[in-house]
Amino acid sequence: MSTRVNWIKAIFFICAFCLLAVAPAQAQFGMPGKPAVNGPWMNRNLSPDQRADLVIKQMTLDEKIQLLHGMGWQAIFGNPTSGPAVRSLGGAGFIPGIPRLGIPDLQMSDAAVGVALGARRSRYSTALPSVEAEAASWDPKVAYAFGALIGTELRDQGFNMSLGGGVDVVREPRGGRTFEYQGEDPILAGTMDGQLIRGTQSQHVIGDIKHYALNDQEDGRSFANVIMDKRAMRETDLLAFQIAIHESDVGAVMCSYNLIDGVYACENDYTLRDVLDHDWGYKGLVVSDWGGTHSTVKAALAGLDIQMPGDKYFGEPLKKAVESGQVPMSRIDEMVHRILRTEFAVGLIDNPSQPKVVDPMHGFKVAQYVEEQGAVLLKNADNQLPLNPSMNGTIAVIGGHADAGVLSGGGSAQVDPAGGNPVLPPGGQPRTVAAYLAQWIYHRSVPLDAIRKAAPEAKVEYNPGTDVDAAAALAKSASVAIVFAVQHESEGSDLPNLSLPGNQNDLIAAVSAANPHTIVVLESGGAVTMPWLDHVSGVLESWYPGIRGAQAIAAILFGKVNPSGKLPITFPKSEAQLPHPEETKQPKGPLTPDPNMPFFKINRRVFDVHYDEGLKVGYKWYDAENKTPLFPFGFGLSYTTFAYSGLKVTHGNALNVSFTVRNTGRRAGQEIAEIYATLPASAQEPPRRLVGWKKVGLAPGESKTVSVSVQPLYLSIFNVARNNWQMVPGEYKIWAGGSERDLPLSETIPLTGD
């Protein structure tokens, strides 16, 4: 009997201990207890729109206004001790909910490549490879897995809204956020981002797409007035958003900092009302970039729904504008409806987050999978790669802090490195937020260790590359030299050029002169120039490879994985080949504190940026101007080879393209088969545009038929006079092959257009 009593006591104390343990966890993670609300809007059989309208009928004006703005920087970086802000998780944004109606707090986090800035609250987040790496896989399944992991880890940490989803077309390859975007082609970018957002929202987290629109450079981004004609706008930058929004039913669109034809993006009638709302029928909410709101009445009437991070315009001033009749109550109700409708549609209210410890093993698996699918083999002279795992010579590993980790991109996308930054900047840890966001941060996935594990019989030696002569001496004595070269990008500023910084070009030149078996592994956010290209035997573009980057790189270098990634951007030979060899810079002016972004001083001078290349973005520019780039769009090598044959093009309601791809080599591999179209001359388009692709896996000697249905939209031009898309009647030439400049198959067919 006493034993039974003791067991009962033990169970009682264990339960009590668990309850006490959960309480701090709830405080740390902001665990939302599901509100005991039984209003008619909690009926899941109703549509999201019906449920939102039922809630709105119960709301006061103050409650409505409360949902239309954040609580400021104090809720993000401060340590509030009273009021609703106490519930903030310290993510990038916080909007208190309405408990009496069962409306939860909106807990927002930056999440371009993983849940950002978690270490300040001892949260671990998986550092995924860059979005550019995900785009380089050309595989919608990879994009979905990328987004689903982000959604999962957001929920695990108590967040319910992502601020990732970058899809700005890469017009300016020196842009500081190229690594956050999906490349230069709107169809590829929109498709991949749409799947990424679908993955995120599958976890009952509100997805986001940004930066809407034309935020194609970082220098002077807050006051850059982008000048572009409407046809070019709709067929390039806006088309990427259109496709992604259509494929994902994304919950939130973030408007950008810049001006568009003289009007700020967050109060721009054309982009917000005419295009997003009217033409695309978008039902979600529009949130400003942080500090991107510039007015109350104008912004509200143009289509902005939420000001972030504070309430300067959409707090008390918006309430007064309603009371004075400047903003009708119907518009306020529309704003609130979009927010609530989104929360119901995504499942945020019916499936509130239940915070728990992040599963790092699952994150490792996804991160390595993305990198292995997205790394691009750019050169492999004389089949230098893959290296033999059984080699017993010396491998020289040089540069790039390959003894410490792999590089990541900076800014709001920065995922805190587990265990801290293994490569401290000069002067120790930065003391300001601005300095922190700009620093070079490495993740503790160590290439040197991964290479030693991949080639256990080899002697693997490391040289940091700071002394070029010493590095060359080590390379000369080695069987093979692997140079890790790095180029850092960060939000808030653009690269001065596309050259590798520091002495890295000299280092690679010296090492390759000492050892012809030199392989360069690039860790970059985008394109780099390569004056040493002819003198090295191999080049692997790994982008920013994430927390399992070293393992993925080693798997590719030693043949455990056959590379299949292809470039989502063009690599120019030099800046002279770009549409704008010199980037348009903001004129010099006085720096004053930014009232919306207290960590920065800014130059407030508005300046014009003319993207006069118009339709000729990326590879379309090189084709139209008869320029040969260093590496073309869609390019990527494999350890096997592929042959194309048997192109057939038929058309009915859609254009159907089929052909055969055969693996002509001795290794299994995946080929990204690409389809392009040349429109009739009367369309006045660049020579070719991507219209479809498919990734196919093939065993040695195996053949498969690839079939792709091309959407009419992808063959159309935007008619500004009609404010609609149209297919021009005439001869269309369809191409198929392995890259934009390697298209062995073609067929011309007549199409009647409209």
In this predicted structure, which of 31-40, 456-465, 741-750 has the lowest mean pLDDT?
Answer: 31-40
| pLDDT given for residue 662 in this prediction | 98
Whether residue 622 has pLDDT greater than 60: yes
Mean pLDDT of the chain: 93
User: In what side-by-side order are the strands of the sheet with 655-663?
Assistant: 642-651, 655-663, 703-710
| 11: pLDDT strictly greater than 60 | no
> Which residues, including other chains, have CB under 8 Å from residue 47's CB and lie 6 or more apart?
none
Least confident interval from 34-48, 295-309, 546-560? 34-48
Query: Does the structure show a pLDDT above 60 at 278?
Result: yes
Does domain 640-751 correspond to CATH entry 3.40.309.10?
A: no
Other CB atoms closer than 10 Å to residue 740's CB: what's the count? 27
Q: Is the pLDDT of residue 138 over 90?
A: yes
Nearest alpha carbon to residue 611 among 183, 132, 170, 166: 170
CA distance 634 to 622: 13
Nearest-5° Cα angle at 91, 87 to 93: 85
The answer to whether residue 18 scores a pLDDT higher than 90 is: no
261 has pLDDT over 80 = yes
> Does residue 10 surpass a pLDDT of 60?
no
pLDDT tens profile 34-93: 547 889 999 999 999 999 999 999 999 999 999 999 998 887 777 788 888 899 998 999
Q: What percent of the chain has pLDDT over 70?
A: 94
| Percent of the chain residues past pLDDT 90, beyond the cut | 86
Is the CB of residue 488 less than 8 Å from the CB of residue 407? Answer: yes
| Per-residue pLDDT at 80 | 82
Where b means 16+ CB within 10 Å and e means fewer, 303-313 reads: bbbbbbbbbbb
The whole-number pLDDT of residue 675 equals 98
Q: What is the pLDDT of residue 22?
A: 36
Task: Note the pLDDT of residue 122.
Answer: 66
From CA 469, how far away is CA 475, in angstroms rounded? 10
Among 242, 311, 183, 245, smallest CA distance to 633 is for 183
pLDDT reported for residue 601: 84
Whole-model pTM? 0.94
Give the tens place of pLDDT for each residue, 625-671: 999 999 999 999 999 999 999 999 999 888 999 999 999 999 999 99
Q: For residues 704 and 597, which has the higher predicted lDDT (pLDDT)?
A: 704
Does 429 score more than 80 pLDDT?
no
Q: Give pLDDT, residue 119.
A: 52
In this prediction, residues 562-586 reach a mean pLDDT of 97
The amino acid occupying position 385 is L
Outline where DSSP puts E strands in 328-403. 376-380, 394-398
Please check the confidence at residue 513 and state whether its pLDDT lies above 90: yes
Q: Determine the average pLDDT of the residues in 304-330.
A: 98
Residue 31 has pLDDT above 60, yes or no: no
pLDDT at 274: 98
Looking at 3.20.20.300, 3.30.9.10, 1.10.20.140, 3.40.50.620, the CATH number of the domain 63-346 comes to: 3.20.20.300
Angle subtended by helix axes 447-454 and 549-557, to nearest 10: 40
Residue 120: the pLDDT is 58
Mean pLDDT across the stretch 671-693? 98
- Residue spans per domain, the chain: 1-30, 63-346, 360-569, 640-751
pLDDT band at 26 (very low <50, low <70, confident <90, very high): very low
| CATH code, residues 360-569 | 3.40.50.1700
pLDDT at 19 over 60: no
Of 110-124, 389-403, 539-553, the least confident: 110-124
Output the pLDDT for position 641.
Answer: 98
Whether residue 12 has pLDDT greater than 70 = no
